[in-house]
Amino acid sequence: MKTNFEFQLPKNQSSVIKVLGVGGGGSNAVNYMHSNGIKGVDFVVCNTDSQALEASQVPVKIQLGAELTEGLGAGSNPDIGKKAAEESIDRINELLDSNTKMLFITAGMGGGTGTGAAPVIAEVAKQKGILTVGVVTNPFSTEGGNRKKYAKDGLVELRKSVDTLLIINNDKLIEVYGDLTLSKAFAKANEVLNTATKGIAEVISQHLLVNIDLNDARRVLQNSGTAVMGQSEASGENRAIEAVEGALDSPLLNDNDIFGAEQVLLKIVTGPGDDEIKMSELNKIKSKIQQAAGNDVNIIEGVGIDNDLESSISVTVIATGFEQKIDKDPVKINLSDSNNIEDYITKEKVAEDEDKKIEILQTKIFNFDNEVLVQEISTSDENNINNKSFVDENKIIFELDSEIKPDHISNAELIKEEVNIDNPAVIIDEIKNEDNLSDNNFEKNDITDSSKTEIDKNVSSISNKSLESREREERLREISKKLRTPSGLTYLEEQPAYKRNNVTLENVPKSDKEDTTNFTLEQNGEDITLKKNNSFLHDNVD
342 within some domain: no
462 within some domain: no
pLDDT at 405 over 60: no
Structural domain total, the chain: 3
Q: Which domain holds residue 275?
A: 223-330
Mean pLDDT of 334-355: 55
d(C-alpha 322, C-alpha 299), whole Å: 15
Write down which residue in 205, 237, 256 finishes a domain: 205
65 within some domain: yes
531 within some domain: no
Least confident of 35-44, 76-85, 279-288, 355-364: 355-364
119 and 164: one domain? yes
Q: How confident is the model at residue 450 (pLDDT cuts 50, 70, 90)?
A: low
pLDDT at 230: 86
Please, are residues 115 and 154 in contact by the beta-carbon 8 Å criterion? yes
39 and 175: one domain? yes
155 within some domain: yes
174 and 265: one domain? no
210 within some domain: no
201 and 157: one domain? yes
pLDDT at 351: 54
169 and 29: one domain? yes
Q: Tell me the backbone φ, ψ of residue 361, rounded to 5 degrees.
A: -105, 135
Q: Which amino acid is it at 312?
A: S
Radius of gyration of the chain (CA): 35
pLDDT at 198 over 70: yes
Torsion of CA 446, 449, 452, 454, to 10 degrees: -130
* CATH number, residue 31: 3.40.50.1440
pLDDT at 470: 83
35 and 147: one domain? yes
25 and 150: one domain? yes
Mean pLDDT of 232-238: 93
Least confident of 67-81, 267-281, 459-473: 459-473
59 and 194: one domain? yes
Q: Which of 288, 281, 296, 229 is nearest to 257 (CA)?
A: 229
d(C-alpha 14, C-alpha 103), whole Å: 13
Mean pLDDT of 377-390: 44
pLDDT at 48 over 60: yes
50 within some domain: yes
Write down which residue in 441, 462, 486 finishes a domain: 441
Close Cβ partners of 47 (under 8 Å, ≥ 6 residues apart): 22, 23, 24, 27, 53, 61, 62, 63, 64, 73, 113
511 within some domain: no
pLDDT at 493: 76
pLDDT at 175 over 90: no
Tens digit of pLDDT for each residue in 88-124?
999 999 999 989 999 999 999 999 999 999 999 999 9
154 and 60: one domain? yes
* CATH number, residue 320: 3.30.1330.20
d(C-alpha 361, C-alpha 426), whole Å: 10
Least confident of 412-421, 460-469, 498-507: 412-421
Percent of the chain with pLDDT over 90: 35
245 and 97: one domain? no
Write down which residue in 395, 413, 441 finishes a domain: 441
Cα–Cα distances in Å, from 534 out to 68, 506, 522, 526? Answer: 106, 41, 10, 20
Q: Are strands 263-270 and 298-305 parallel, antiparallel or unpaired?
A: parallel
256 and 184: one domain? no
377 and 234: one domain? no
Torsion of CA 272, 278, 282, 287, to 10 degrees: -150
Please, are residues 48 and 64 in contact by the beta-carbon 8 Å criterion? yes
Quick one: CA dihedral 469, 472, 476, 482, positive or negative? Answer: positive
